[in-house]
Amino acid sequence: MTANDRDETLSALDRLLVRALVKLAEAGEQQRHIACTLAARACSVLRDAEPREAERFNGVLHRLTRVQYKPPEEESPMSQARVLDVRPLIPMERHRQIFETYRALKPGESFVLVNDHDPRPLYYQFDAEHTGEFSWNYLQQGPATWQVEIGRLAAAHS
Count of domains forming the chain: 2
Q: State the CATH number of the domain containing residue 137.
A: 3.30.110.40
Per-residue pLDDT of the chain (158 residues; tens, 9 = 90+): 788 888 788 778 877 887 888 888 888 888 888 888 888 888 888 888 888 888 878 877 777 776 543 444 443 444 445 899 998 888 778 888 999 999 999 998 999 999 999 998 889 989 988 999 999 999 999 888 999 999 999 864 54
88 plus 146 within the same structural domain:
yes
96 domain residue, yes or no: yes
The Cα–Cα gap between 86 and 114 comes to 6
Are residues 111 and 53 part of one domain?
Answer: no
What residues contact 11, with CB distance under 8 A and at least 6 apart?
53
Distance of alpha carbon 112 from alpha carbon 72, whole angstroms: 16
pTM here is 0.60
The length of the chain, given as a count of residues: 158
Helix (H) or strand (E) holding 70: none
Assigned domain for 118 exists: yes
d(C-alpha 95, C-alpha 113), whole Å: 11
Q: What is the pLDDT of residue 47?
A: 82
Q: If residue 51 lies in a helix (H) or strand (E), which one and from where to where? A: helix 51-64
CB 121 within 8 A of CB 65: yes
Q: CA–CA distance from 39 to each of 11, 44, 70, 78, 133 (Å)?
A: 15, 9, 24, 30, 20
Question: Is 44 found in the same domain as 14?
Answer: yes
76 in any annotated domain: no
C-alpha distance from residue 118 to each of 84, 140, 145 (Å):
15, 10, 8
**How far is residue 86's CA from residue 100's CA, in Å, rounded to a whole number?**
12
109 and 57, same domain (yes or no):
no
55, 90: one domain:
no
Is residue 11 one of the residues assigned to a domain? yes
106: domain range? 83-152
| 72 part of a folded domain | no
Taking the alpha carbons at both ends of the chain, their separation in whole angstroms is: 40
Is the Cβ–Cβ distance between 14 and 49 less than 8 Å? no
Domain-embedded: residue 38? yes
